[in-house]
Amino acid sequence: MPRSSTRRHVAALSAVAAIGAFALAGCGNSSSDTSAVSADAGPCGTNDDTTLTVGLFGTFGFKEAGLWDAYKKVCPNITIKEDVVEQSADYWTRLKTRLASGSGLDDVQAIEIGFVADVVQNHADQFVNWNTVPNAAADKAEFYPWKWQLASTSDGKTTVGLGTDIGPEAICYRSDLLKQAGLPSDPTTLAQKWDTWDHFIDFGKQYESSSTKPSGSHFVDSAASVFSTAVYQGQEAYDNSDGQPDVENSDGVKNAWAFASQAAQDGITAGLQQFTPAWNKAFSSGAFAALACPTWMMGYIQGQAGDAYAGKWDVAPVLPGGATNWGGSWLGVPEKAAHKAAAIALVEWLSAKDQQVTMWKDGGHFPSNSQAAADPAVANAKSDYFSNAPVGKIFGDISSQMKIPPIGLYDTQIQQALTTQLTNVETKHTSPDDAFSAALDAIKQVTG
């Protein structure tokens, strides 16, 4: 506890310092974006006292990282009010309702990767197009190209949001459990041993056959963990290049299903459903030794396993089968926002390098702004909790190698259907073929 609070304190201080610097630098160039909005609105989009509402889900961490307070110093006339819904699915339902009725929209609306495709395909005209804002070119240059592309229409002409964080994936593992099983446990060796899913599964079999591993412990948390990572390593995941669901013909689904059901049948998975209480408990109980680990998962592990497991967890600088992403969000401004210009100014400020660096240092949100990812404060970051792993470099390298398949309207539901059936392969020994056709039935219920 003392360590983490100190860390937060330092981060908050540096955030304030960074923001002070930005405020001086930022005021000069942002005068251009005001001209389009109104004659002398200033860098904050307005000179009037304004309360901006920001629609978020879960814990975005802007407030916790002190960014709202910091913005008050940049723009003293702007007050920010968060409008938070706990679950992103509930948030999305509410956002859809508001988009359909055209009322009740916040000035800024968060958009998650799970529904960004829907926003792009069905609601692009209801959001400010970031390709036509005065700072468009500068905004676009900040981000990883794929991050920008995911929030853009296929012709690239309309972009509905500016990126917040991304979720480059590596493998997090319990080095103490691997040691106990008599297996290599240093990240460099493991990076070589886990270069492909086949090798990863072979390693899992060695773990399972170890006579010294803790009884009841398995190598990986779930077949779902393998699947939902490997599926995005294909040319296609759940959708074809037109963004239409096409599960049966996807190379990503085919390969991922083969690896995941292989892992399940080889008995190297703990058979837990992700994000259930039993899975949460397993981070400390040792029911599994490794899992696919996007950056934000590190914070999740720390929260579930607690300080007693600091130094027992580690991060291997590898993802079997190639670099992919899991999660991440954008911030959009509805065309019907009450304070559009001020909202645009706020989103641009939040997406800028210094703020994304702060979000990484204080919240563990990996920057989607590639300049922020290259910043020494991110690139040289190490994690005390994860055995001093050079997480900034690990996830930065993965981010720069990332290939992203097309995404579509129903990816969340399709993935849920497939991973649910993998649980049946793991726990009820359903044959992979039966499970796959059951998943296709469930998917048909979604796609109609």
Partner 1 sequence: MTVLSQPDVQSGEAALRPPAPRRTRGIRPGSRIAYVYVLPFFLVFAAFSIYPWVATAWVSLHDTRLSTYDQSSWIGLANYRNLFTNDFFWNAFRNTITIGIISTVPQLCMALGIAHLLNYRLRGRTFFRVAILMPYATSLAAATVIFAELFDPNLGLINWGLHVVHLPTVDWQGSRWPSQIAVSAIVTWRWTGYNALIYLAGMQAIDTDLYEAAAMDGAGRWAQFRHVTLPGLRPTILFTIVVSTIGAAQLFGEPLLYHNGLPDGGTQNQYQTLGLLMYQQGWTNDRLGLASATAWTMFLIIVVAVCANLWIARRRGRREGRRASIVAAVPEVTVR
Q: Is 116 in the site for partner 1 (CB under 8 A)?
A: no
Backbone angles phi, psi at 57, to 5 degrees: -130, 155
Q: Is 431 in the site for partner 1 (CB under 8 A)?
A: no
Q: Is 93 in the site for partner 1 (CB under 8 A)?
A: yes
Cβ at position 282, least distance to partner 1 in Å: 10
Applying CB under 8 A, among 409, 411, 415, 436 the residue interacting with partner 1 is 409
CA dist 371 → 53, 113, 267, 352, 368 (Å) = 28, 21, 43, 9, 9
Nearer to partner 1, 61 or 271 (CB): 271
Applying CB under 8 A, among 171, 314, 424, 432 the residue interacting with partner 1 is 424
Q: Counting runs of H as helices and runs of E as strands, what totals does the chain give?
A: 21, 9
Q: Is 446 in the site for partner 1 (CB under 8 A)?
A: yes
Cβ at position 334, least distance to partner 1 in Å: 15
Cβ at position 446, least distance to partner 1 in Å: 4
Applying CB under 8 A, among 268, 423, 432, 436 the residue interacting with partner 1 is 423
> Minimal CA–CA distance to 116: which of 417, 366, 297, 325?
325
Backbone angles phi, psi at 282, to 5 degrees: -70, -15
Q: Is 448 in the site for partner 1 (CB under 8 A)?
A: yes
Strands 288-294 vs 50-57: parallel, antiparallel or unpaired: unpaired
Cβ at position 243, least distance to partner 1 in Å: 14
Among positions 146-175, residues that touch partner 1 (CB under 8 A) are none
Q: Is 387 in the site for partner 1 (CB under 8 A)?
A: no
Q: Is 118 in the site for partner 1 (CB under 8 A)?
A: yes
Q: Tell me the two tokens of residue 220.
A: 């990986």
CA distance 290 to 203: 11
CA dist 121 → 125, 191, 247, 251 (Å) = 9, 39, 19, 24
* 273: DSSP letter: P
Backbone angles phi, psi at 73, to 5 degrees: -75, -35
Nearer to partner 1, 96 or 340 (CB): 96
Contact by Cβ (8 Å): 108, 135: no
Site string for partner 1, 52-91 (x = CB under 8 A): -------------------------------------x--
Cβ at position 267, least distance to partner 1 in Å: 16
CA distance 325 to 293: 10
Applying CB under 8 A, among 46, 61, 123, 201 the residue interacting with partner 1 is 123
Nearer to partner 1, 233 or 413 (CB): 413
Which span sits near partner 1 by CB under 8 A: 97-105, 167-175, 320-328, 361-369? 97-105
Among positions 256-295, residues that touch partner 1 (CB under 8 A) are 273, 275-278, 281
Residue pointed to by tokens 């978020």: 56
Count of residues interacting with partner 1 (CB under 8 A): 31
Kindly tell me the burial class for residue 350, based on how many C-beta atoms sit within 10 Å of its own C-beta (0-12, 13-18, 19 or more): buried
Which span sits near partner 1 by CB under 8 A: 64-72, 233-241, 288-296, 408-416? 408-416
Q: Is 2 in the site for partner 1 (CB under 8 A)?
A: no
Q: Is 420 in the site for partner 1 (CB under 8 A)?
A: yes
Nearer to partner 1, 118 or 169 (CB): 118
Determine the residue type at 412. T
Q: Is 96 in the site for partner 1 (CB under 8 A)?
A: yes
Contact by Cβ (8 Å): 116, 407: yes
Among positions 13-52, residues that touch partner 1 (CB under 8 A) are none
Q: Is 103 in the site for partner 1 (CB under 8 A)?
A: no
Contact by Cβ (8 Å): 337, 106: yes
Q: Tell me the two tokens of residue 63.
A: 């407030």
Q: Is 428 in the site for partner 1 (CB under 8 A)?
A: yes
Helix (H) or strand (E) holding 177: helix 175-180
Nearest-5° Cα angle at 93, 236 to 359: 70
DSSP SS3 for 364? coil
Which span sits near partner 1 by CB under 8 A: 2-10, 338-346, 353-361, 406-414? 406-414
Cβ at position 38, least distance to partner 1 in Å: 31
CA distance 161 to 139: 11
Applying CB under 8 A, among 6, 29, 38, 97 the residue interacting with partner 1 is 97
DSSP SS3 for 243? coil
Q: Which residues bind partner 1 (CB under 8 A)?
A: 89, 93, 96-97, 99-100, 118, 122-123, 273, 275-278, 281, 409-410, 413, 416, 420-421, 423-424, 427-428, 438, 441-442, 445-446, 448
